[in-house]
Amino acid sequence: MLLMSVDTQSLSLLIFPSPILLQRAGEVDASDRNVQEVARRMIEMMFEQNGVGLAAPQVGLSWRLFVTRNPEDKESGVVWMNPTLEVTSTDDDIEEEGCLSLPEIRGDVRRPTGIQISGFDVNGDPAQESSDEFIARVWQHENDHLDGILIINKMSSMDRLINRQLIRNLERAV
């Protein structure tokens, strides 16, 4: 378990090729108050950036934690700490995805349509949900961040080619 005190107001969105975006994150203590405060701040940041999800590595923390918009109430967020995903359908779907850490880059990504997620909520309580709606894709996208996987690793070779110059520009901006 990762334990550390973080100043939530100092968090900022990281842009590719920041090394932390390419690393596997470690589990967090879901009952730790500072971790819960970070999760609440990440929800605010997700809304500020007009995103549908945000993973801890995107704000510089190598933690297994992400937040998403609440599918039942788009004005609120949901926290997933130490999430595990299980595929519940045999169907795949291809949809265009973007990423806050890869500005202007978009590409088609194939993902399973049905997912069951379990983990811990913002209060550190066990939580579980299943969906075959858009939120299942968001869970998978954000969970990929926890494993150091980005959409540029999952998009088609044609989409990588189309986005090649934008990716190079981000790499050169470092």
pTM of the predicted protein model: 0.95
Taking phi first (over 0 means left), then psi (-120 to 50 degrees means alpha), and beta for anything else, what does residue 148 get?
Answer: left
pLDDT in tens, 6-46: 888 889 999 999 999 999 999 999 999 999 999 999 999 99
Spatial contact of 117 and 85, defined as CB atoms under 8 Å apart: yes
Q: Which DSSP symbol is given to 50?
A: T
Structure confidence at residue 9 (pLDDT): 87
Residues designated catalytic = 142
**Of all residues in the chain, what percent carry a pLDDT higher than 90?**
91
Low-confidence ranges of the chain (pLDDT < 70): 1-4
Domains, the chain, in order of start with CATH, read 8-172 (3.90.45.10)
